[in-house]
Chains A and B, each alone.
Chain A
Amino acid sequence: MTKILLVAAREFRHIASMRSFWVSMLLLPAALFIAPLIHDLLEDDEPTRIAIIDRDPGPAGEAIAARLAFEDRRDELAALSRYVRRYELEAADPAAPWAVHDRALTGADVAAYEDAGGLEAALERIDAVRPDDVRDFDPPSPDYALVEPPAGLAEADAAAIEARRDTIFDRATAAGPVPDDIVLIETDADGRPVIHLVSRDRPDATLLGIVREEAARALRTQALAERGVDPADSATIEALAPPIMISTPQPGGGARETHVIRSILPLALAYMLLMSLLLSGNWMVQGAVEERGSKLVESVIACVRPWQLMMGKLVGTTAVGLSMILVWVGCAIVAALMTKGIVADLLRPALDSIATPGAILAIVYFFVLGYVMLSTLFLAIGVLSDNMNEAQGFIMPMMMIILLPVMYMLQAIVQDAGGIGLQIMTWFPPVTPFAVLARLGAGIETWELVGTAILLAAFTALMLWLVGRLFQASLLKSGQKSGIGQLIDRFRIAQD
């Protein structure tokens, strides 16, 4: 045992002294740290700028402008309502539209919200009851902003605007704010509004819908007025809508959301296992190839038995991999603490799924055994290859065998689409640890858990036995062609 630990300690120190180890280990935390910044940089929180040129005497232009403003206010109110519900802050004003969650928000709700002082007044009331550990409300960016039409377009018709498309949407040369869309409302020979939408790019479907709905509403009002209906009556009729009662789960609840949140930690563990394995597996191959290449293996196996050398390498590399994961988990905890309630809110339900002793035992078992089993495969590659070029020829196919099913699996779990395929993969030993870890959150039958645990143990033992023989027979071999014949030959030599 002492010799195994000595070999393991040397292996650990050797890998830990490599620059690539530190780069790889710090890359994931760095990526996690940088990702939100990049996300913020890439996120398009600029509103769509709309210029309305209204030459129609009817109400269409005003209606469109009012509707765009209404949409942004309703989004703000909806976001505030979700925030209030998540942190149970309804006590701030139980009658306020943002404290009612059982129906779809209507124009009346938005009007009431506005009349009560809008966001500023709402937050004042909410802050009075908000506990210290509840984060601030982060209002959504508005989707739309109305801007003045570009200079010289006030009198231009649709054809003239189209002719100047290259210059009016050119942000480099424009003096003022450049619109993304120009809504030109003219009147046709019959006195009805005609709308031209000139867009810098493809107009978004929501905007198109708003323009269509509001223009149609204006037309209907005009037609009803021509038929003697009082505009006030027609407006009342237009505003008629049945209340839609909605029942939604608590934020973080609901079938799919619950499923995803409960699977977050197991999925993250499966992903970390994968990442760490691919990295440490590569180092293991490199170490084994170098050891044989530098002809020092004979000196070593004069002191330790080949199986002790093999186990030492496995223990050392596994320790490296697990250390990386510990660092990553540590970084995640620090990130959770730094982001106050946000991550903690997410983690609480996520932890629920794996906080039982049985689940913890299953995680540790499948994680460690999976690591050893897959490291054994990498070690086999190391002892079969004379150089890293040759080793790459084995590493790539093996990575594909692991990566493809695992990627499919992770995606299937996230989409709650795990059917029979996922169950079958759970019984394919090279991906069993990933499958079980990933499925833990959503729930896995006990018989399946026990069965795959036994299968994984048996497969790992078989791999250790096979690779042990291969290791022994290959240590002093070099310069031979690698092929099935050679492989069988080495197993035969190991039996001598």
Chain B
Amino acid sequence: MSILSMQGVTKRFGDITAVDRLDMHVAPGEIFGFLGGNGAGKTTSLRMILDIIRPTEGRIAVLGEAPGQEHADRIGFLPEERGLYPSMKAIDTITYFGRLKGMDAATARAEGMALLERFDLAERATSPIADMSKGMAQKVQLATALVNRPDLLILDEPFSGLDPVNQQLLEAEIVRAARRGAAVVFSTHIMQHAERLCDRLLILRRGVKKFEGDLAAAQGLVPPTVRLTARADLAARPGIAAARILGRDGDWTRYEVDLSPDNDPGTLLETLTREGVLLRDFEARHAALHDIFVHLVGSEPQGEAA
């Protein structure tokens, strides 16, 4: 059962199509990554899910119903552009957002304190946001998204601007939420996080979906490469689309080999062994998410036009 689904969703701003016929779904307990460069339509998609803006066409179902603020009690949201009321105390800020999400004041406060303790901020609970460092304020904002233990956690570029320690903390919270059974949807253009965390991914390019599936399926889109060191000339052998020489060591030559579409590393190793080609090493390399992204989108993740 999907906790979130989009069917044929299009959003146009005047002549600009920000999202074009997007289909996707997310199941409970799943960590789902929205990948794309700047201007790919990630934030627009997330805002439509939250009913901050409405789609021009298509259908969105959130928790089985049309999007709307009435679901706020089951949703957590961390926007890309972050900010809090500067004069408000940390715990009051979390309590306020908890109450906006339908919690009673005491529960929201207790949950807020638990989050601040987990984030090592309990001592600063009564500090105004203006007196906190940027990193501390970011943790408080994360707490406002988590305070209601949401069934659907939506994070827009959550890692941007975080230091490595806070990035780790955020990764842990994402995993924790998913283990609890929440669906986590986050947008990013930093591939390492997506690679580490996501059960499934969606890659967008200028509003158009280029891929949706798990990492293995994504890797299937780009043939693996093989790095090997051999004593023979590997050019023009069957099963090898291209062989690039990386270096030489006496009679030995180090190659990077692109396989033909119908070939795989195991078959190549078997063929070379059968043909008596002497090998000193052999390493199969699956495509990294970064390479897959470049392969699908045609540019570096950050390189998309805004």
Contacts and interface: CB of A to CB of B under 8 A. Distances in A.
Interface of A: 3, 6-7, 10, 14, 17, 290-291, 293-296, 298-305, 308, 476, 496
Given A17-B87, A294-B83, A300 B100 contact: yes
Contacts of A17: 87
B82 A301 contact: no
Contacts, number: 63
Interface stretch (B73-81, B113-121, B245-253, B255-263): B73-81
Given A6-B99, A295-B79, A302 B52 contact: yes
Nearest to A492: B14
Contacts of B47: 298
Contact of A303 (B78, B82, B87, B100): B100
Contacts of B75: 302
A298 B54 contact: no
B84 interface: yes
21 contacts: A6-B100, A10-B85, A14-B85, A14-B88, A294-B85, A294-B86, A295-B79, A295-B82, A295-B83, A296-B82, A298-B77, A299-B83, A299-B97, A299-B141, A301-B52, A301-B69, A302-B75, A302-B77, A304-B69, A305-B69, A496-B54
Interface of B: 47, 50, 52, 54, 56, 69, 72, 75, 77-79, 81-88, 96-97, 99-101, 141, 144-145
A302 B85 contact: no
Nearest to B56: A496
Contact of A3 (B84, B87, B100): B100
A305 B97 CA distance: 14
Contacts of A293: 83
- Describe A's contact surface by its main secondary structure: helix
Contacts of B96: 6, 10
Contacts of B145: 299
A300 B79 CA distance: 10
A494 B39 CA distance: 22
Contact of A298 (B56, B72, B79, B87): B79
B84 A296 contact: yes
Contact of B72 (A14, A291, A294, A302): A302
A294 B84 contact: yes
A7 B85 CA distance: 13
Nearest to A18: B87
Contacts of A299: 77-79, 83, 97, 141, 144-145
A17 B86 CA distance: 12
A273 to B, nearest CB: 28
Contacts of B72: 302-304
A486 B233 CA distance: 67
A205 B100 CA distance: 72
